[in-house]
Amino acid sequence: MATETPGVVAVGRRAFLRWATAIGGAASALLAGVPAIRAFLSPTFRHKHEEKWIRLGEVDQFDPEVPTKVDFVDAVHDAWVETRRLRSVWIYTEDGANFRATRDSSPSSPGKSWGGRRPARSIRWR
């Protein structure tokens, strides 16, 4: 004879396996879903990188309507390693106040098409 303890619900083997399967499935879905949700929401919480301004020279160093090649050292920090590269850009100005920088080689005749091959950032001088 089986004795029943008061306050304890008798659960059969099949009911237990049903509950165990449901809990295991929910845990698996949760473990697989957290990285997916994080990947979906990560652009929202991305840190903005600061722009790095490099001094290329004085304003009077650049003649109007004459492309000038400027070499500079670009330092990149990655954890404990600092890598330095020698880079060069061409600076062009039409009026001596607004400057345009590009990595393209200096054209033989700077006209409207110069700098149009690649988007170039304008340089603000203070």
Of 90, 94, 88, 104, give the one whose Cα is nearest residue 63. 94
Buried b (16+ CB within 10 A) or exposed e, 26-53: eeeeeeeeeeeeeeeeeeeeeeeeeeee
Q: With a threshold of 0.75, does the pTM exceed it?
A: no
Cβ neighbours around 93 below 10 Å, total: 20
pLDDT digits (tens, 9 = 90+) for 4-53: 667 666 678 888 899 999 999 999 999 999 988 888 888 877 777 777 78
For residue range 61-87, what is the model confidence (pLDDT) as tens digits? 888 888 888 888 888 888 888 899 888
Compare 110 and 3 and report the one with higher pLDDT.
3
